[in-house]
């Protein structure tokens, strides 16, 4: 569950950066770290699941979430 907590904490940081209108470089750095943490979570939680596919779906969902909070 440490992996899940790391992902949730990272999401909170990403959302805070969005609210603060942080520079795109700061937001992108957090998103890159988020993808790595999401991959670690999937690997720990679901051995044998295609982690790349799961991370891609997570990234797509996050993209939609970020778009909806900024528009």
Integer angstrom CA distances of residue 60 from 39, 51, 53, 66: 14, 14, 11, 10
Express each pLDDT in 41-68 by its tens digit: 887 877 766 667 766 777 777 676 554 4
Express each pLDDT in 7-48 by its tens digit: 999 999 999 999 999 999 999 999 999 988 988 888 787 776
Q: Smallest Cα–Cα separation from 4: which of 41, 48, 32?
A: 41
pLDDT on residue 40 = 85
Does this model's pTM top 0.75? My answer is: no
């Amino acid at each position: 569950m440490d992996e899940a907590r790391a992902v949730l904490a990272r999401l909170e940081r990403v959302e805070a950066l969005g609210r603060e209108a942080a520079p795109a470089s700061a937001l992108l750095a957090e998103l890159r770290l988020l993808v790595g943490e999401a991959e670690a979570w999937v690997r720990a939680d679901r051995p044998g699941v295609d982690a790349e596919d799961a991370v891609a779906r997570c990234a797509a969902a996050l993209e939609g979430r970020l778009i909806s909070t900024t528009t």
